[in-house]
Chain A
Amino acid sequence: MSVAAHDGIAVFTLRLADDCLVLSHRLAQWSSRAPTLEEDVALTNIALDLLGQGRSLYALAAGLDGSGRSEDEYAYGRDERQFLNCQLVEQENGDFAQTVARQLLYSTFQQHLWSALEASRDETLAAIAAKALTEVRYHVDHATRWTLRLGDGTVESHERMQAALERLWPYTAELFEDDDVVANGGVEPRLLRAAWEADIDAVLTEATLQRPEPAWAPSGGRRGIHTESFGYMLAEMQHLHRCHPGATW
């Protein structure tokens, strides 16, 4: 395997790991704040799935990039510019509709991603993908049910759901961006776009929502450039470990 291909799959894996960790943390922020007790439990259970997937991916990345770093070193020991998650997952929870919209847009993407990666030539990545695929189906199911209920609900819930889509839609462009990271054993994100759009369109139509018009397309998360709220999130997430390096409990 060439050096470039070796590096490519390491970066590719780290990007997915960071997506999982960051979205997991955002969802965990709903703990004790969700609209109902059942929803509180559902969101934190999805967060737990993502955390588990992230841990498996960090362990794989540590072998691929040759650093042998621990999961904690990846999560707590890196600065903002070293995180390679897409900007969509770091967006603030907002109202409940915004969280649902973020879940729908990202989980649907992730479902197609895991599905494609099941055939990865990297056996560990393929195993993680096959495992995660059984879990993300629930995440998509959860987001779809809420999108239908809010979109095709009251005037208020419909307006909020549509506003959430308008707010987050620009960040979906980055999911399908191609760049110079050629990942041997990965998947080219642009190949997932058509299937993702078909799924999203079907849900939005049934939910009486409009697909937002293409507008600006922010980008940079995959290269370590993030939106303002991400720094605050990271500061909170890393605070304890930065104050007490190596703390365990």
Chain B
Amino acid sequence: MSGAVALRRALAAIPDPEIPVLTIEDLGILRDVRAVGQRVEVGVTPTYSGCPALDVIRGDIERCIRDHGFDPDVRTVLSPPWTTDWLSVDARRRLQEHGVAPPRRRDATGGLLELPVACPVCGDQHTTEVAHFASTPCQALRRCDACSEPFQHLKEH
């Protein structure tokens, strides 16, 4: 395996500091990786403009590139803006397994394809929003009407 391929894999495996069950590639934060001689250019898209985790992610990426013997050049890519629609099916499943309700899938016009937010613990479709704005802007706090478990919901964005 060449150094560049190994680096690409290592970058894709960097966990998100806020939701470590997902990698920066799962979330769509890692946009593109390009090796230009000794320099490696990486484009990252912030989930939210003021996301404090982005500075940590940037540091993680730079360290990873240096560890592989390259020079990092990390750039912020604002367009197209980040959306939860970029989360893969596998990423949604892993979120659910860790007790976080994944963002609901949407069609091309932004319409929700699944209406209820199901409880990630017992799977019941009857849940109630407790707080629309929870610990981070991307999450809401809900409670399951069936098993009473409180859980976080990664909001559609």
A-side interface residues toward B, CB under 8 Å?
A: 38-39, 41-42, 45-53, 55-56, 123-124, 126-128, 130-135, 138, 141-142, 145
Contact = CB atoms under 8 A, between A and B. Distances in A.
Contacts of A133: 81
A130 B82 CA distance: 10
B157 to A, nearest CB: 6
Interface of B: 46, 48-52, 78-83, 131-137, 141, 157
Contacts of B48: 48-49, 52, 135
A52 B51 contact: yes
B109 to A, nearest CB: 15
Contact of A41 (B78, B82, B134): B134
A135 B61 CA distance: 25
A52 B49 contact: yes
Given A38-B133, A38-B134, A48 B50 contact: yes
B133 A50 contact: no
A128 B78 contact: yes
B135 A55 contact: no
A134 B157 contact: yes
Contacts of B46: 52, 131
Interface centre among A45, A53, A55, by most chain B C-beta atoms within 10 angstroms, is A45
Shortest 4 CB-CB contacts between residues of A and residues of B: A52-B50, A52-B49, A42-B133, A127-B79
A44 to B, nearest CB: 10
8 contacts: A38-B134, A42-B132, A51-B50, A52-B48, A55-B49, A123-B79, A127-B81, A141-B132
